[in-house]
Amino acid sequence: MLDMNFVRNNPEIVKENIKKKFQDQKLVLVDEVIELDKQYRAAIQKADGLRNQRKTISKQIGGLMAKGQKEEAEALKAKVNAMADELAATEKLEEELQAEVRKRMLVIPNIIDDSVPVGKDDSENVEVERFGEPVVPDFEVPYHVDIMERLSGIDLDSARKTSGNGFYYLMGDIARLHSAILSYARDFMIDRGFTYCIPPYMIHGNVVTGVMSFAEMENMMYKIEGEDLYLIGTSEHSMIGKFIDTILEEKQLPQTLTSYSPCFRKEVGAHGIEERGVYRIHQFEKQEMIVVCKPEESPEWFNKLWQNTVDFFRTLDIPVRTLECCSGDLADLKVKSVDVEAWSPRQQKYFEVGSCSNLGDAQARRLQIRVKGEDGKKYFAHTLNNTVVAPPRMLIAFLENNLQADGTVRIPEALRMYMGGKATIG
């Protein structure tokens, strides 16, 4: 959510930013929110004036009563009563206007960074850099589910019976590999100075609207019927929510946390759920990283975060590339975002395995996450998040890149201690 002062003083910048995101239908919101804010501030001023008048008249009533001038005092009391009705109506109007302003402000997109390429959708994202040499082996690489089934590692048919499409049973060494990757990711991030955390897997509605846009919420979140609780789509939601309504001392920054959680997603939209496979599913597990920092430090942390993911995948011998998300592919709260994509030898192309985002002060402003500077002044923190690894999607890249000609799967050195010392599975 933008600062109202910024919108009020820079409407053309806000409108130009909306155009860059190809959301022209939202242009009208800028003028609406400015006019509503004007009415809101006028209502505040009127209410303050009525309160001051009431206070002054109340003192006059006391003086008149002390002098025995009851008739004059009663006349002023009637005036105060009338003012009370007017004040109540003004305060109600004030609340309504404030709600209307906030409703619009929540859907006006954040100002994107100047470095973000302008484009309509993910087809116009820009490759930044490649890490590792993409290899296509001289033998056929089967579909990832076929690899798993040959290793007795997945049961989709049973999952459909118990839960429907978008769910799975992982079995045997594949299930162990899944857990090993998460354990390795946990230790990898702890070694980089992050504090490990296991967060709540359900959050209140005000936290949901604090960390994401309405469009994302509608397409992703599962609501618990009859309760103000949602299943998290990623641990970033509850990890950023951890700081709701807090004032941090500058010396407490940066907050660098890495968190494990299951993730639950509707996956409503153009992509939908896969009938057969584990790329796009309703339930998965993930190791995440989040940072809460001073505004001037967020660009540096952004680069550190995506580099962590690149380094993690390279220790597992998986080639990756970074992709700069264009303006039209950025969610409304994001200032800048980079996707990390892994190489698929079977498809001979890269596919997304993680996303790193700088959200500026958007989440902090919605959740009231403030910092108290050394001078005593308060300001909103900046928040960032990034995927360390999200199996089972990551298993696709792992299996394809470590598959051997004889059908066995090589276990890279970094992962072997988590797999009981095994060098291969098959």
> pLDDT in tens for each of the 426 residues of the chain?
899 999 999 999 999 999 999 999 999 999 999 999 999 999 999 999 888 887 787 777 777 776 777 777 767 777 777 778 888 999 999 999 999 999 999 999 999 999 999 999 999 999 999 999 999 999 999 999 999 999 999 999 999 999 999 999 999 999 999 999 999 999 999 999 999 999 999 999 999 999 988 777 878 899 999 999 999 999 999 999 999 999 999 999 999 999 999 999 998 665 666 667 888 899 999 999 999 999 999 999 999 999 999 999 999 999 999 999 999 999 999 999 999 999 999 999 999 999 999 999 999 999 999 999 999 999 999 999 999 999 888 999 999 999 999 999 999 999 999 999 999 998
pLDDT digits 0-9 by tens, 339-396: 999 999 999 999 999 999 999 999 999 999 999 999 999 999 999 999 999 988 899 9
pLDDT at 57: 79
Provide the pairing of β-strand 336-344 with 320-324.
Answer: antiparallel
The pLDDT value recorded for residue 274 is: 65
Cis peptide leading into 11, omega within 30 of 0?
no
DSSP sequence for 198-261: ---SEE-HHHHHHHS-HHHHHHHPEEPTTSS-EE-SSHHHHHHHTTTTEEEEGGGPPEEEEEEE
Can you read off the two tokens belonging to residue 145?
A: 């589910």
- Give yes or no for a contact between 340 and 350, defined as CB atoms under 8 angstroms apart: no
Compute φ and ψ for 170, nearest 5 degrees: -95, 140
Token pair for residue 123?
Answer: 């087809």
For 259-301, the pLDDT digits (tens) are 999 999 998 665 666 667 888 899 999 999 999 999 999 999 9
Kindly state the tokens that stand for 162. 């118990």
Residue 60 confidence (pLDDT): 77
**Which CATH superfamily groups domain 122-425?**
Bira Bifunctional Protein; Domain 2 (3.30.930.10)
**What is the domain partition of the chain in residue ranges?**
4-105, 122-425
What does the pLDDT read at residue 267? 81
Q: Calculate the CA dihedral of residues 397, 398, 402, 405 and round it to 10 degrees.
A: -60
Query: What fold does the segment set 4-105 form as a domain?
Result: Helix Hairpins (1.10.287)
pLDDT of residue 235: 95
Residue 372, φ and ψ in degrees, nearest 5: -100, 115
Q: What is the pTM of this model?
A: 0.89
Tokens of residue 156, six digits: 């989709």
